């Protein structure tokens, strides 16, 4: 008979797991810093040493997921060393993929850790308010969004909790424990900490400047007044606690000279930029669709096609109208350079070029292009993808799913009786509900899923590598949990639900067909009484109807 595991040992494992996560964060900070300049041998050594510490901690404290990632990073760094310290696009991509996985471990409800001996470690949010009942309700609401939250009633309980486990963030009433005592408690909490804890202050009443100044000095990064609402609070917590992720810039090099293309590629790779080289300009459009670069480096003179002609072809496609094009050529005639830039180019660099000049130009242009694209493809209220871009992503994912023979599901969902929310509680409340659902979806879905605001109160989700049954189960669980969220209102709190339609990609389907089918499934859910998830397949619906967990409000 196997003896039950010692609870104290389990607590120790959780405690030591925090040291592993702290070391993982240090590696991510080094990795991000390396993207700002060309890599050196000293940089690689620093990253390698940080990674070795992570591996030692992860193996000692039985954190198999972190150990697995650390071994992968070590292997990639060995390959860089074997390549005489030079990076390649493949190595940058591999390292970044590992770093992205490292930054995600345990941070989001919908992401599952692989091969781990512990459940996902989520640091709690400590909620310490003078009104403990309000703190309890708020903590419960944050739990609905997939966070771990704990309300603490007295200063002593707060000190005890801090001694046991440092939180991801603290929501602190300025008057917790007495008039102005919360400010003193928070200031004391931050003393001696290597990294200050994210701290949000709250006051039920509007406060004066001295109080706000004291909050700033105590380390407060936000100051909230009035009514605390879970979705708005979550948005601020996400911003304060987010582990920033670096996504390397991608550059497509189009040059008929293999030697010149290889030279440019090597310079950019050593600065952490992913490249792809195209020697035949006729293949440009298919390569653009596949690679989706942030920037294009284009030779002026190529057989069968000039650079300016190719730039015009690229600009004819609305999708690539904002992708920067940099000409890299030996052409030194200023008039010809200006003519080329007027034909769709954004900059002109003359060969030979200093490495730092090329790298800085590429980084600056790519960064501005990304910022512009983010504004173009995102919905201003929710930060989700807008209608046009979510359909574009659906088309891209459909193409990839067919090519790789993998499943793909698409979801459309709509907030029930939304007009009544606006009419009865005003448009600000309607906006709050929309933002709440957007945040809820981001928390509950995987990072590999794409979420968009389709229009008004309607949302869309693209779910790669997900079959219909799995997608249905995920959305139905989200539907049940979302219905439990309440929004403070008069005379009674407001509750909202949504209906959804889920479909799976089949042979012959395109993006518009999938969208139409999902819309039909959504219509069926609405017609059947709302607060339901429907598909166009009866077998899935039969299984749902026999599920004892299903609750329809």
Give the per-residue pLDDT at 476.
93
Is 457 an annotated catalytic residue? yes
Cis peptide before 285 (omega within 30 of 0): no
Per-residue pLDDT of the chain (553 residues; tens, 9 = 90+): 444 445 555 555 555 666 787 788 778 877 877 766 677 778 788 889 989 988 988 888 778 888 899 999 999 998 888 887 778 888 888 888 888 778 766 433 333 333 333 333 357 899 999 988 889 888 887 876 667 889 999 999 999 998 888 888 999 999 998 988 999 999 999 887 777 888 999 998 888 888 999 889 888 888 988 777 776 677 677 767 664 456 789 999 999 889 999 999 989 988 888 999 999 989 899 899 888 899 999 998 888 888 889 999 999 888 888 899 999 988 888 888 888 888 788 889 888 888 889 999 999 999 888 888 877 888 888 888 999 999 989 998 998 898 889 999 999 999 999 999 999 989 988 988 998 899 889 878 887 899 999 999 999 999 999 999 999 999 999 999 899 888 877 888 888 999 999 999 998 888 889 999 999 999 999 999 999 999 987 666 666 655 544 433 3
In angstroms, the CA 496 to CA 416 distance is 7
Given the residues 265, 287, 457, 458, the one annotated as active site? 457
Give the per-residue pLDDT at 289.
83
Whole-model pTM: value is 0.59
In angstroms, the CA 69 to CA 511 distance is 35
Instruction: Output the 3-class SS for 336-392.
Output: HHHHHHHCCCCEEEECCCCHHHHHHHHHHHHHHHHHHHHHHHECCCCCCECHHHHHH
In angstroms, the CA 69 to CA 64 distance is 9
Q: What is the largest CA-CA distance in the chain?
A: 86
Contacts for 504 with CB less than 8 Å, ≥ 6 apart: 407, 408, 409, 410, 467, 468, 471
Paired tokens of 36: 């700002």
Give the per-residue pLDDT at 117.
30
Beta-bridge partners for 412: 460, 501
Distance in Å from the first CA to the final CA of the chain:
46
Q: Give yes or no for a contact between 252 and 278, defined as CB atoms under 8 angstroms apart.
A: yes
Task: Specify the residue for token string 């790789």.
Answer: 404
Q: Give yes or no for a contact between 221 and 200, defined as CB atoms under 8 angstroms apart.
A: yes
Q: Give yes or no for a contact between 116 and 69, defined as CB atoms under 8 angstroms apart.
A: no
């Amino acid at each position: 008979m196997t003896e039950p595991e010692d609870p104290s040992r389990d607590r120790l494992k959780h405690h030591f797991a925090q040291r592993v996560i702290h070391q993982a964060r240090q590696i991510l900070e080094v990795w991000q810093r390396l993207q700002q300049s060309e890599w050196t041998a000293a940089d690689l050594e620093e990253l390698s040493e940080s990674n070795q510490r992570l591996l030692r901690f992860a193996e000692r404290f039985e954190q198999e997921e972190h150990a697995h990632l650390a071994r992968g990073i070590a292997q990639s760094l060995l390959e860089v060393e074997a390549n005489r310290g030079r990076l390649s696009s493949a190595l940058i991509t591999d390292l970044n993929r590992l770093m992205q996985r490292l930054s995600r471990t345990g941070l989001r409800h919908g992401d599952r850790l692989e091969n781990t001996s512990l459940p996902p470690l989520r640091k709690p949010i400590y909620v310490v308010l003078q009104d403990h009942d309000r703190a309890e309700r708020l903590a419960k609401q944050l739990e609905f969004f997939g966070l771990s939250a704990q309300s603490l009633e007295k200063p002593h309980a707060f000190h005890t909790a801090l001694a046991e486990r440092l939180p991801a963030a603290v929501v602190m009433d300025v008057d917790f424990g007495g008039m102005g005592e919360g400010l003193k408690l928070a200031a004391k909490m931050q003393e001696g900490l290597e990294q200050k804890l994210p701290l949000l202050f709250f006051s039920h009443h509007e406060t004066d400047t001295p109080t706000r100044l004291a909050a700033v000095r105590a380390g407060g990064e936000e100051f909230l007044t009035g009514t605390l609402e879970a979705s708005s609070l979550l948005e601020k917590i996400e911003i304060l606690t987010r582990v920033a992720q670096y996504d390397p810039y991608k550059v497509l090099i189009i040059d008929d000279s293999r030697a010149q293309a290889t030279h440019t590629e090597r310079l950019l790779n050593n600065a952490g930029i992913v490249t792809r080289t195209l020697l035949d300009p006729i293949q440009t459009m298919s390569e653009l669709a596949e690679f989706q670069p942030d920037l294009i480096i284009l030779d002026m003179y190529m057989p069968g096609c000039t650079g300016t002609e190719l730039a015009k072809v690229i600009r004819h496609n609305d999708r690539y109208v904002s992708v920067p094009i940099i000409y890299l050529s030996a052409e030194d005639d200023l008039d010809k350079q200006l003519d080329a830039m007027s034909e769709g180019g954004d900059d002109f660099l003359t060969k030979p070029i200093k490495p730092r000049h090329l790298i800085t130009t590429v980084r600056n242009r790519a960064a501005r292009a990304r910022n512009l694209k983010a504004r173009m493809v995102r919905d201003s209220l929710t930060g989700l993808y807008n209608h046009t871009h979510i359909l574009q992503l659906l088309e891209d994912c459909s193409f990839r799913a067919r090519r790789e023979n993998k499943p793909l599901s698409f979801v459309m969902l709509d907030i029930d009786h939304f007009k009544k929310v606006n009419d009865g509680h005003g448009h600000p409340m309607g906006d709050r509900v929309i933002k709440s659902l957007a945040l809820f979806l981001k928390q509950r879905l995987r990072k590999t899923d794409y979420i968009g605001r389709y229009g008004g109160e309607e949302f869309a989700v693209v779910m790669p590598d997900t079959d219909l049954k799995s997608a249905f189960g995920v959305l139905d669980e989200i539907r049940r949990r979302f219905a439990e969220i309440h929004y403070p209102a008069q005379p009674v709190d407001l509750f909202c639900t949504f209906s959804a339609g889920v479909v799976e990609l089949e042979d012959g389907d395109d993006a518009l067909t999938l969208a139409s089918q999902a819309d039909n499934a959504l219509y069926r859910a609405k017609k059947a009484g709302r607060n339901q998830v429907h598909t166009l397949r009866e077998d899935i619906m039969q299984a749902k109807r026999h599920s004892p967990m299903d609750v329809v409000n």
